[in-house]
Amino acid sequence: MAKHAIPIISYDDLVTGSIKPSEVLDTLAENGFFYLSDIERAIPPSLFKSLHETSERYFGLPLEAKMEHYIGDSDNHRGYVPVTEQGSYSDESVRVYEAFDIGYDSDPLPASRSRGFELVGRNRYPTQVPGMAGTLREYYDANFGIARLILQQIAIAAELEAEHFDRWLTRPASQLRLIHYLRNDILVNREDTSMGGHTDYELLTIIHQSSPGLVAYDRASKSWHNMPVFKNTVLVLVGDMLQFLTGGRLQSLLHRVSTTGEERYSFPFFMNLDFETELGVLPFFGHSDEKIVVGHHLLGQLYRDFPYIKQRVDSGRWPVDFEIPASNVFEQV
């Protein structure tokens, strides 16, 4: 692939094996992301359409109706995230987005195995929007399938069995967010962005944006690049846990959302493993004794992003037995 061309991989080529797993790995190593095109077989246009319609109808509800499913009332981090649930990003002093979060739908952990903060359990769906549960389930499952296929490619490229990661996919901390950026003029002439610069905390992220806004940092040229939107195409971004697993061969993509003032929707799906999974660097990428627990990294970052989580941890309601870092070590420029 020519350097500086937009990296694009066809979903059909992934499914048929026409692209080698090592090419998928190399593309991610070189760019930190790729566009996955020809996605119709996994996400039909009708599903994108229902996702948009559902989101418009849901976010159009009165605030009180949305707050019936406030995420801060949930035991497992599912539900509505109001504009006021503002994290601590220095380049995001004014926040203009709201969100709705679902995760992997499963039975809660048995009390004997739960400390309370593992983010496992059932999704919660508002009933005010007909068909919302069905649409979000379908969209979640489609993204999960795509992400699993990409993980299989990475496993094969690392000389492991294709299903290597499946053992840690029993009730993974994989989240789908519907994000609604409100039309605004308050960010105009400010230094703030619509969403502050960050890396994603999981293995990889699959994003469908309704309109441009996502901006990614290119470490090679030390510059920011707008990420265009293409039809029937999603974006695949490297997250922190892939950087860790590959000993830094892949680097998690630093990105932010620029300020347009226009209304915008974005639907990131964050692929992760089971909360308590302890990872080491895969032998293919060299030797290291370092370990990381995927859920500890995730919760350590969500602590910074969600005041309700900070409150639960600080008050001891969530008795975390690991260190909450002051910043994300993967978020290096």
Ligand X SMILES: O=C(O)CCC(=O)C(=O)O
Sites of contact with ligand X (CB under 6 A): 177, 179, 195, 200, 207, 209, 213-214, 255, 257, 266, 268
Smallest gap, in angstroms, from Cβ of residue 128 to Fe ion? 28
Q: Which is nearer to ligand X, 255 or 312 (CB)?
A: 255
Position closest to ligand X via CB: 266
Smallest gap, in angstroms, from Cβ of residue 184 to Fe ion? 20
Smallest gap, in angstroms, from Cβ of residue 270 to ligand X? 7
Position closest to Fe ion via CB: 200
Q: Which is nearer to Fe ion, 23 or 331 (CB)?
A: 331
Q: Which is nearer to Fe ion, 50 or 143 (CB)?
A: 143
Give the β-pairing of 33-37 and 97-102: unpaired
Q: Which helix (H) or strand (E) holds 154?
A: helix 132-157
Smallest gap, in angstroms, from Cβ of residue 266 to Fe ion? 9
- The CA-CA-CA angle for residues 137, 142, 147, to 5°, reads 125
Q: Which is nearer to ligand X, 24 or 254 (CB)?
A: 254
* CB of 300 closer than 8 Å to CB of 243: no
- The CA-CA-CA angle for residues 149, 151, 157, to 5°, reads 110
Q: Which is nearer to ligand X, 285 or 308 (CB)?
A: 308
The item of ligand X, Fe ion, none sharing an interface with residue 207, based on CB under 5 to 8 Å by kind, is ligand X
| Footprint of Fe ion (CB under 5 A) | 200
Residue 237 CB burial class (10 angstroms; 0-12, 13-18, ≥19): buried
Smallest gap, in angstroms, from Cβ of residue 257 to ligand X? 4
Task: Choose among 206, 267, 280, 269: nearest CA to 241.
Answer: 280
Q: Bridge partners of 81? A: 99
d(CA 81, CA 98) in angstroms, rounded, equals 6
